[in-house]
Structure 1
Amino acid sequence: MSIRLIATDMDGTFLNNEHDYDHRRFKKVFDKLTKNGVQLVAASGSSYPRLRREFAAVADQMIFISQNGSVIHYGDELIDCFPLHHDDLKAVLVALTRLYGDDDINQLVISGPTTSFVDQSMDEKNFAVVKLFYENVKRVPNLQDIFKYPLDEPLTKISVNFADHIDITDVTSELDDLLPANLIMENSGFNTELIGDAHATKRNALMAIANQFNLRQNEIMTFGDNENDLGMLTLTSHSYAMKNAALPIRLAASNVTRLTNQESGVLDTIEHYFDFSR
């Protein structure tokens, strides 16, 4: 059975540590994948506008799973999203305020499918980091009152980047008991937790895409390096954890890339699998 769809995580996987990639090499691989009828999916915890920027030259030909599965786009068309209910969002904000002080959280971001919001009190250093991952970011007078402001779209994800002195494993145990049962919290690396609808995962989004394209699991290839990639890495036998991934991620995947994200490990694996060297 041949591969018909490839889904790759971005930061720590497809992108190097400078959040970039070999554009010329990618274009050659992408053209060959397209010629062979293979669909490429970018699956990330960050936003759709950021993903479109990364793949601007071919964005209309790609599928984007953003915010860890809360939003799905085909090119510029919104296919599906999982809105957060007002009461659930409020419960998360109350829990964060109860457990953590201003020095404990670097960046608190609330996102819709195309626009993200931060508090106007966020300093310029952290705002610049948020812009890197979310692209279209607006400041609001008080993030706690987000629903009081005019919104053109539903809100779909909460991102919390914790300060270095906060142990992310403690965050999971501390927040779990306070979150509404219909929400899920996933680690996205960089001491960041993403909170959204429990159904909104990379795995579920990928399965929805597979159903739409009538794909079997063994026709899908996946790449990842972090906890939020585990679902899609265990979905198919053609899964690849990055060489630079932590041991539990490498053990969960069916394969491990021979090169790291710093060495274009995803492109290298695709080239060898399809024998694009010919």
Structure 2
Amino acid sequence: MSIKLIATDMDGTFLRDDHTYNHSLFNKVFRQLERHNIFFVAASGSSYPRLQREFKDYTTKMGFISQNGSVIHLGDKLFKSFPINQEALARVIHVLDRFYGPNDINQLVISTSEKSYVDQGMSPHDFEIVKLFYENVERVPDIRKIFSQHSNDDFTKISINFANHINLKKVAATLDGYLPPSLIMENSGFNTDLIGNAVATKQNALSILQKHLHLKPDEIVTFGDNENDLGMLAMTSQSYAMKNAQPIIKMQAAHTTITDNNHDGVLQTINDIIKNNR
């Protein structure tokens, strides 16, 4: 067996709970990946600018699946994106306004492939959290008018972080019947739902890269910890749920990492894979 691509989720998987990672160990692992011609892909619900920041010394040498599969980059070049049409976007906002008030939603973020927008009324605390995950963020006077004011932009994802008193399972049950069939809603952890083009999933994005790079399923390794990683984990026999993942995620993956995300679980496992792949 020869491994040619490794794709990993970020928050709760590759990153520690404080959103950092072991840069020294990653540098050593990345050099080994290059030596063995293994392509490294970061797959995240957050934005490409955020992933660029996390991997600023490696950007041109790896792949990026951002916004849960809505945007794909090879190095610093946009490879493919899946926009949402304006009518569907307006429908999402209408449905959110119908069922949820300002105290129910902490952060509403609407993104293109390179930029994200929030309402100027967002609290400084929430704005700093959004910048952590989206990096290139602009406040606008009224987020609900963003589509008419930026009519030429290709919007790719809507992120809704709900207040703690909101049950996301009830959100899914409520919104599923109202969202246009052209859209999909996925839980991204942290009480956050991401809404985007129905074909924009991590699984589909990774399948596109697999086809582009002419890879077989058993030449791919995947890591994840959450529901939005399940499709990606199901793609290959070399899938790993994190030790810190919920039992249902571990049941779907072929393997479970020995150590969790706070103890370099992904990097330690990659080290072992490289040793066994020689």
TM value normalised by structure 1: 0.98
1:241 — aligned with what? 241
Give the residue type in structure 1 aligned to 2:51. Answer: L
1:191 — aligned with what? 191
Give the residue type in structure 2 aligned to 1:78. Answer: L
The alpha-carbon deviation at position 148 of structure 1 amounts to 2.3
2:136 — aligned with what? 136
| Same amino acid, percent of matched pairs | 55
In structure 2, runs of 5+ residues without a counterpart are none
Aligned pairs for 1:81-120 within 5 A: 81-120=81-120
Distance across 1 between alignment mates of 2:79 and 2:126: 31
Give the residue type in structure 2 aligned to 1:41. Answer: V
Give the residue type in structure 1 aligned to 2:261. Answer: N
Tell me the number of residue pairs that the alignment of Structure 1 and Structure 2 aligns: 277
2:14 — aligned with what? 14
| Change in CA separation of 1:151 and 1:32 when aligned onto 2, cut-off 3 Å | farther
Distance across 2 between alignment mates of 1:152 and 1:73: 21
Note if contact 1:11-1:19 (Cα within 8 Å) is conserved in structure 2.
yes
1:172 — aligned with what? 172
Aligned pairs for 1:214-225 within 5 A: 214-225=214-225
Distance across 1 between alignment mates of 2:146 and 2:43: 27
Give the residue type in structure 2 aligned to 1:83. Answer: P
The alpha-carbon deviation at position 154 of structure 1 amounts to 0.8
Confirm or deny that 1:42 pairs with 2:42.
yes
TM value normalised by structure 2: 0.98
Distance across 1 between alignment mates of 2:211 and 2:140: 39
The alpha-carbon deviation at position 151 of structure 1 amounts to 6.1
Question: CA-to-partner distance for each residue in 1:162-213, whole Å, 9 max, x for gaps?
Answer: 0000011111001000100111000000000000011000000000000000
| Change in CA separation of 1:152 and 1:21 when aligned onto 2, cut-off 3 Å | farther
1:67 — aligned with what? 67
Question: CA-to-partner distance for each residue in 1:86-106, whole Å, 9 max, x for gaps?
Answer: 000000000000000000000
Note if contact 1:115-1:137 (Cα within 8 Å) is conserved in structure 2.
yes
Give the residue type in structure 1 aligned to 2:77. Answer: E
Note if contact 1:113-1:153 (Cα within 8 Å) is conserved in structure 2.
no
2:262 — aligned with what? 262
Note if contact 1:8-1:41 (Cα within 8 Å) is conserved in structure 2.
yes
Q: Which runs of 4+ in 1 moved over 6 A?
A: none
**SS where residue 160 of structure 1 aligns?**
strand
The alpha-carbon deviation at position 227 of structure 1 amounts to 0.3
The alpha-carbon deviation at position 273 of structure 1 amounts to 1.5
Question: CA-to-partner distance for each residue in 1:114-169, whole Å, 9 max, x for gaps?
Answer: 10000111010000000000000001111111122246641000000000000111
CA RMSD of superposed structures (Å): 1.1
Distance across 2 between alignment mates of 1:150 and 1:70: 19
**SS where residue 156 of structure 1 aligns?**
strand
**SS where residue 270 of structure 1 aligns?**
helix
| Change in CA separation of 1:213 and 1:58 when aligned onto 2, cut-off 3 Å | same
1:149 — aligned with what? 149
Distance across 1 between alignment mates of 2:109 and 2:254: 34
Distance across 2 between alignment mates of 1:153 and 1:268: 41
**SS where residue 272 of structure 1 aligns?**
helix
